[in-house]
Structure 1
Amino acid sequence: MRIDEYTAHDATALAGLIRDGQVSAAEVHEAAAAAIDAVSGELNAVVGERFAEPLAHDPAGPFGGVPFAIKDLIIHAEGVRQRAGTRLLGEGVPMPGDTYLMARFRAAGLATMAVTATPELGFNASTEPVSTGAVHNPWDTTRSPGGSSGGSAALVAARALPVAHANDGGGSIRIPAAACGLVGLKPTRGRTTVGPDYADPLLGLGIEFALTRTVRDCAGLLDAVHGSEPGDRYLLPAPVTPFAAAARDGSRPLRIAVRTTPLSGTGSVDPECVAAVRRVADALAGLGHTVVEAAPALDAGAFDEANLVAWCSFLADGVDGLAAALGVTPGPDTLEATTLACVEHGRTLSASDIYAADRVFNATTRAVAAFHQEHDVLLTPTTCAPNTALGHLDADDPGLDARGWYHRIFAFAGFTALSNVTGMPAISLPLAVSERGWPIGVQLAAGTAQEATLLALAGDLERALPWADRTPAVVAATPAGSAVS
């Protein structure tokens, strides 16, 4: 299989080719390995060495044999080193076992080929850690692929992989989806398991899933891996119909609210992002939906302060726990400047601060839930600009304290954190292109457990405003005159 034959298919199609015997899994893996290697020099998206052979997986799973990668954060696989984007872990710590979601990815048949880069401990909307260097956006290598799932996004956008793991504590699936022209769904809290290591990572903000190029891959993968494990805190109702069926069959008429100013109150929005939302709103009205200007009322200052408490307390707990286990002292030689600032701020927080943040999160969630009683979906830009220049979100900037760093991030990512706080689902879709040829992401958010609503609407928009024919400047391809067997 040539690389360009491999890259022409999404995960669903590749699984079908393997299942029907039109190509062997080994041929697909060989093409995937060549594709990853072909773009690695320009993108710097892989951490450590690509695996010589894919990790063990179930060939009978619905995605049996489909190439995949895991992000170097939260999720882990037995025997695979985790670095979490930080010098604190040096060359990485071999993990003693699989997380529950990793086991589900294996059972789905996904063949893990590599580990992808993340910013230090995930607290950045760009992926340019000191430990492994900047990841480059395949649409324009002077730009960031977003974060914190930027390594995964770069590989999927460059067609080196059809799908890759990602996680999202403030927009880390949706931000890189927007920057790299991908589909990025943050599911409802509890839809995918975060066990056994966590019950509610980041005070409930964090959730695990993936990045894909197509809506059907996103929906089919959610069908394959959703659900709770013994000891998980949440048990969501099973979908009435498969998510893949919802994406295929399309949406019922919905009441859709539109907002183009940042929900957090931080930052201004690029006119091209506003225009993209307006174009999508017009398309949705043309599809028979009721579209109105509306948004939930929030106390932006209280929201930002509570979010800062969640992030800094999580970072302080994680860093201090790792340092104690490894027998090292956190400092400028092991942590980036803003991480250290956030850790130091986190150490000053009390139990009362965390409970106060939880009260803000509860009030926010109640307000948004009430809003979704009247509006099925909230339509916004995903980010305040199509992307950022590499270096703009420099986590090693000693001039930024914890609040300064938080506001630098969310001046760019002013629309994503709300769905993390509420635990409700949201999806970014690549529905527009800037004048410079960069993807522009548009976000759709819905109420608790309404992934099917979002995926049905996403399927309709993919058909109405297709993006499959757009390719970035850096894309895996078979060199002229050569072939992969």
Structure 2
Amino acid sequence: MISPAEYDRLDGLAQAALVRTGQLTPAELCTAAIARAEAVNPQINAVVHPLYAPAQARAAAGLPAGPFGGVPFLLKDFGAQYAGAPHTSGSRALRHFVPHEDAELVRRWQAAGLNILGKTNTPEFALMGVTEPLLHGPARNPWHLGHTPGGSSGGAAAAVAAGIVPVAGAGDGGGSIRIPAACCGLFGLKPSRGRVPTGPEQGEKWQGAAVEHVVSRSVRDSAALLDATLGPDAGAPYFLPNPARPYLEEVGREPGRLRIAFSLGHPLGSALHPECATAVTEAAKLLESLGHEVEEVPLPFDGRAVASAFLMLYFGETGASIAALAKHLGRPARPRDVEPTTWLLGLLGRTYSAADFAAARHTWNDHARAFGRFHLTHDLLLTPTLATPPVRIGELQPRPLEQKLLTLVNTFGLGGLIRRSGIVEKLAEQSLEKTPYTQVANLTGQPAMSVPLHWTADGLPCGVQFIAKLGAEDVLFRLAGQLEQARPWFDKRPVL
């Protein structure tokens, strides 16, 4: 049997290697993961749908001999569907929904040998940068239980940081891989648009802004899983050329002398938290010491324009998600079916015209072109992942007076009035103020990663973000491997 301490010291590829050589069995790994979950999950509320018995049965029967053969894994309760398992998307309206077909990405994860143990906590419809759904209650950060693990893949990140699994499924429509990775001291890479499949039910998610991958403790686990899942499926709307070599081989490869620009500017003009500024300046010094060409520049994108375009997507997609509930409920959705903030977002989505939405969608190309010009002279952009360290649980929830206002607006359908008042812009800016750096890569489709290089004086993780040109995940993996070697983080562990 494997001891808890031994289990905790192994990343996914190391676990799979021990299975291949007969030193461990999938059943032993499964038992160790379940024991860890039962020990820590009551504190962090990361796993909301345990699927332990089916996982034990698969481990006993035998799993595919892929690169992750026998490795315990968790799915986010949003996005990639898993046949026969609850798929609530963090919403009371979907608490009884069970899909009958696996998503293509889940099929590829299983073909790689991963053993699915359960599903992780996420905010309703994955809409928030914190994970505090009314359906399941808040997920908690293993580094400090009073703080958020981020969102929307907060349950996934909390589970990996707490040592339940070495790697877990995640999704990113506005930063939802990178934000929780930064909050929990993990590595999180958002692949390029079209790098991984979104089928069979969807051709693209959130107009192509959303993409799924994983959060992990090691860079190589992320690289190897992207190798195992990349490539279009039948009917995919996007196609990217395959990389020159497997991403796993890039992790130990010298990145060469990269031209890296960094910025401490806040996209919305607000103040950047000193710890986040320190994270970037220290990363810049480290990069310089590794031989890279580093310079400070203004942000190469218009932060307010990005926020405006992203919020139009946010409102519109929420409205569409609420409308789609009718096929599950057998009737049109009502305010009590979803959380008050979600209903308000949907109301706002219905106050804009198709022309408004199309005009905002056109600006995505402006941002992509701006980054195209930026990459003529720089390989990467370095920024904070977040504008603040992980916030406290409940800090971003509506205050009592705001909750009363939400109830009034939702009861009487006053979305148009709220929009015309200008309050929306103010509230939206406040919402994005703490997470303003991640959305641009979703709009442009570029790959981006959060790397855990800094911890605050209070012991909270504080990640930094790197954005590369479209299709350049290889550059990110080479640099991430170099940083992981120069400033190791794998052995940093929260105490639970």
**Which residue of 59, 80, 89 corresponds with 1:84?**
89
DSSP-derived class of the 1:439 partner: coil
User: Is the 1:81–1:93 contact (alpha carbons within 8 Å) kept by the matching residues of 2?
Assistant: yes
- Counterpart of 1:36 in structure 2: which amino acid? A
Pairs within 5 Å for 1:62-101:
62-89=67-94, 91-101=95-105
Work out whether residues 124 and 393 of structure 1, in 8 Å CA contact, stay in contact via their aligned partners in 2.
no
The answer for the alignment partner of 2:282 in structure 1 is: 279
Structure 2 SS opposite 1:143? coil
Q: Quick one: distance in 2 between partners of 1:124 and 1:405?
A: 14
CA distance in 2, matches of 1:455, 1:469: 20
Q: 1:411 aligns with which of 421, 425, 433?
A: 433
- Matches of residues 16-415 of structure 1 in structure 2 within 5 Å? 16-54=17-55, 58-89=63-94, 91-263=95-267, 265=268, 267-394=270-397, 398=403, 399=405, 403-415=425-437
Q: Distance in 2 between matches of 1:50 and 1:77?
A: 11
| Deviation by residue 1:97-135 (Cα, 9 ceiling, x = unmatched) | 011101110111110000001001011000000111010
Distance in 1 between the 2:185 and 2:166 partners? 13
Q: Which moved more, 1:295-304 or 1:373-382?
A: 295-304
State whether residues 51 and 116 of structure 2, in contact with CA within 8 Å, keep that contact through their aligned partners in structure 1.
no
CA displacement, residues 281-321 of structure 1 (integer Å, 9 cap, x when unaligned) = 01111111110112454333332221111111111111111
How far is the alpha carbon of 1:233 from its aligned partner? 1.0
After TM superposition, the structure 1 stretch with the greater mean CA deviation from structure 2, 342-351 or 13-22, is: 342-351
Letter in 1 for 2:178: R
1:202 Cα deviation after fit: 1.2
Gaps of 5+ in 1: 475-485
Conserved? CA contact 1:296–1:368, under 8 Å: no
For residues 398 and 332 of structure 2, the distance between their equivalents in structure 1, rounded to whole angstroms, comes to 19
Higher RCO, Cα 8 Å, sep 6+? 1
SS of equivalent residue, structure 1 residue 333:
helix
AA aligned opposite 2:323: D
- Once the two structures are superposed, residues 432-476 of structure 1 have per-residue CA deviations (whole angstroms, 9 ceiling, x without a partner) of 1100011110111100000010110011111111112211122xx
Find the residue that maps to 1:61 and give its secondary structure: coil
AA paired with 1:458? A
Aligned partners of 1:422, 1:120: CA distance in 2, in Å? 25
Separation in 2 of the partners of 1:299 and 1:7?
43
Q: 2 CA distance for matches of 1:405 and 1:19?
A: 53
User: Aligned AA for 1:306?
Assistant: A
Report how many residues are paired. Answer: 472
Alignment-derived partner of residue 454 in structure 1: 476
CA positional deviation for 1:58: 4.2
Range that drifts further, 306-315 or 50-59: 50-59
Q: Which amino acid aligns with 2:53?
A: A
Match of 1:94, SS state, is coil
Question: In 1, are the aligned partners of 2:47 and 2:155 still within 8 Å (CA)?
Answer: yes
CA–CA separation in structure 1 for the residues paired with 2:327 and 2:144: 41
One-letter code aligned to 2:22: G
User: Which residue in 1 is equivalent to 2:492?
Assistant: 470
**Paired residue for 2:415?**
none
Q: Give the Å deviation of 1:36.
A: 1.0
Letter in 1 for 2:46: A
Calculate percent identity across the aligned residue pairs: 40
Q: Deviations over 1:217-253 (max 9, x none)?
A: 1111111111111110111111112111111113111
Distance 1:266 1:53, change over 3 A: farther
Query: How far is 1:404 from its partner?
Result: 4.8
1:6-26 Cα shifts (integer Å, max 9, x gaps):
111000100101111001111
CA distance in 2, matches of 1:102, 1:434: 36
Quick one: distance in 1 between partners of 2:322 and 2:269? Answer: 28
Report the secondary structure of 2:53's partner residue.
Answer: coil
Once residues 246 and 324 of structure 1 are traced to their aligned partners in structure 2, the CA distance between those partners, rounded to angstroms, is 45
User: Secondary structure of the residue that 2:132 maps to in structure 1?
Assistant: coil
Q: TM-score, normalised by structure 2?
A: 0.92
Per-residue CA shift, 1:378-400, capped at 9, x if unaligned? Answer: 00110011211100122695357
Letter of the aligned partner of 2:34 in structure 1?
A
**Residue by residue, what CA displacement relative to the aligned partner does 1:184-215 show, whole Å, maximum 9, x if unpaired?**
00000011111122222112210000000011
What is the CA-CA distance between 1:328 and the residue it aligns to? 4.1
**Secondary structure, counterpart of 2:52 in structure 1:** coil
Flag as ranges the 4+ runs of structure 1 deviating above 6 A.
none
TM-score normalised per structure 1: 0.94
Distance apart, 1:333 and its partner CA: 2.2
Secondary structure (helix, strand or coil) at the match of 1:319 reads helix
The unaligned stretches of length 5 or more in structure 2 are 407-422
In 2, Cα distance between equivalents of 1:299 and 1:175:
20
The whole-number CA distance in structure 2 between the counterparts of 1:229 and 1:295 is: 39
Kindly provide the amino acid, as one letter, of the partner of residue 111 in structure 1: N
Amino acid corresponding to residue 494 of structure 2 in structure 1: P
Write the distance in 1 (CA, Å) between the matches of 2:26 and 2:14: 13
Comparing 297-306 with 355-364, greater Cα deviation is found at 297-306
CA distance in 1, matches of 2:23, 2:427: 51
Instruction: Give the corresponding residue for 1:478.
Output: none
Distance 2:483 2:97 in 1: 42
Determine the C-alpha separation between the residues in 2 that align with 1:4 and 1:395.
41
Q: CA deviation at 1:359?
A: 1.3
Give the superposition deviation at 1:409: 3.0
